[in-house]
Amino acid sequence: MSAVAAARAPQAPHAPRVRGSRALLLTAGIVGAALLLVLAVGLSMAVGAKPVPLGDVWSALRHPDDSYVSTVVASRIPRTQLGVIVGAALAVAGVVIQGLTRNPLGDPGLLGVNAGASASVVLAIALLGPAVGRSVWAAIPGALLAAVAVYLIGSGGRRATPVRLVLAGAAVSAVLVALVEAVSLTQPQVFDSYRVWVVGSLAGRSPEVVGQVLPFVVAGVLLALLLARQLNALALGDESATSLGLHAGRTRLLGGLAATVLCAAAVAAVGPIAFVGLAVPHVVRSFTGSDHRWMLPYCALLGPVLLLASDVVGRVVARPGELMVGAVTAFVGAPFLIAAVRRGRVGV
């Protein structure tokens, strides 16, 4: 017995040290992700049709004047701010939706939010004109109503399971996409305004848009962070989560609300942008595991990095013009979807 005890004695202290070292590594990774975000912000301010050295960007931000460089930098500030806000919103929403549906390929479009926002924009353009239809407030009602419809259809008076939510989202999205096509194809003026918005772009947005969407994104991210432990429990299955004292239905409702608010604000601000909510959580999960307490902060930092980097790439490859960021993220994110499918990680 003493030999067994002696053999086991040195191993006992290792578990806390392993957990502590992992937490230390992940904390250091958070710092690294924050530095990457700072670099992405700097590149977003410096790169464009008129490149500006990073040193000049810093000088123009600290001491703005009437010079050409200061004017160029000032014009890129709202674009960069939106890239940070929207990137964080889409990535965090992707994590929450994947946690709610227990589907690693879930993305912000899974609950019909993108389709709802698009339908709302098209109807607003058709009824109220392009000036109103392409505002932030035109997209938010449709996104919220679509998410509510998905939840009501997915529950059907019973428990809203992941499979029911996914199927309800697909059905609602199909109906809304058909509505969008019917309206936009029969009214050329609607199609001309809608086709610019639907690709997804950070360009040409006014500073007022930042102020309009920021409260929604902050509220959605905070709610998602508060639900991190509940999402971890939900990943074990409804029965296991209930045995741990979790109310699965309430968690899905609050998580769905957080994801919907984030998606609605992002889509309303810049249009539907694909793959950010899929690719970023997929990458983060590879080194944090499925612990939402780590995934959510990482995604809030790396989502903007991906979106800003894609925006910079779009400005460089088509200079002096540019590719819209929604097209670039599709090219960047598609390999992650293919890799996930090949690994057999699809499922609901």
Task: Measure the CA–CA gap between 145 and 127, rounded to whole angstroms.
Answer: 18
Task: Measure the CA–CA gap between 263 and 258, rounded to whole angstroms.
Answer: 9
Q: Determine the pLDDT at residue 159.
A: 63
Task: Measure the CA–CA gap between 241 and 261, rounded to whole angstroms.
Answer: 25
Work out the mean pLDDT of the chain and round it to a whole number: 82
> Which pair of tokens denotes residue 157?
């008076």
Q: Determine the pLDDT at residue 8.
A: 46
**Among 125, 114, 134, which Cα is nearest to 273's?**
114
Bigger pLDDT: 179 or 160? 179
Rg, the chain, Cα only: 22
Q: Determine the pLDDT at residue 37.
A: 96
Phi, psi values for residue 110, rounded to 5°: -70, -30
Find out whether the peptide bond into 320 is cis, omega within 30 degrees of 0: yes
- Give tens-digit pLDDT for 56-84: 888 888 888 878 888 888 888 999 999 99
Give the mean model confidence (pLDDT) for residues 309-324.
Answer: 85
Give the mean model confidence (pLDDT) for residues 138-155.
Answer: 83
Q: Determine the pLDDT at residue 264.
A: 84
Tokens 């490149």 found at? 51
Tokens 């899974």 found at? 110
Q: Determine the pLDDT at residue 2.
A: 47
Q: pLDDT over 70 for what percent of the chain? A: 86
> Which amino acid is it at 306?
L
Query: Where does 74-342 sit in CATH, by number?
Result: 1.10.3470.10
Tokens 């899929």 found at? 278
Bigger pLDDT: 50 or 295? 295
Give the mean model confidence (pLDDT) for residues 188-196.
Answer: 79
CB atoms within 10 A of CB 145: 20
CB atoms within 10 A of CB 42: 15
Res. 318: pLDDT tops 80:
no
CA atoms within 13 A on the CB side of 141: 10
* CA distances from residue 17 to 13, 23, 24, 65, 291 in whole angstroms, order as listed: 7, 10, 10, 53, 19
Q: Determine the pLDDT at residue 336.
A: 66
Q: Determine the pLDDT at residue 88.
A: 96
Distance of CA 19 to the CA centre of its chain: 29
Task: Measure the CA–CA gap between 29 and 241, rounded to whole angstroms.
Answer: 29
Domain assignments of the chain as residue spans, ordered by start: 74-342
Task: Measure the CA–CA gap between 93 and 87, rounded to whole angstroms.
Answer: 10
- Give tens-digit pLDDT for 78-134: 999 999 999 999 999 999 988 888 777 777 777 788 888 888 888 888 888 877 766
Task: Measure the CA–CA gap between 291 and 326, rounded to whole angstroms.
Answer: 29
- Give tens-digit pLDDT for 2-35: 444 444 444 444 444 446 788 888 889 999 999 9
DSSP conformation class of 9: G
- Provide DSSP, 40-108: HHHHHHH-SSS---HHHHHHHHHS--SSHHHHHHHHHHHHHHHHHHHHHHHHHHHHHHHHHHT-TT--T
- Contact 305/40 with Cβ under 8 angstroms? yes
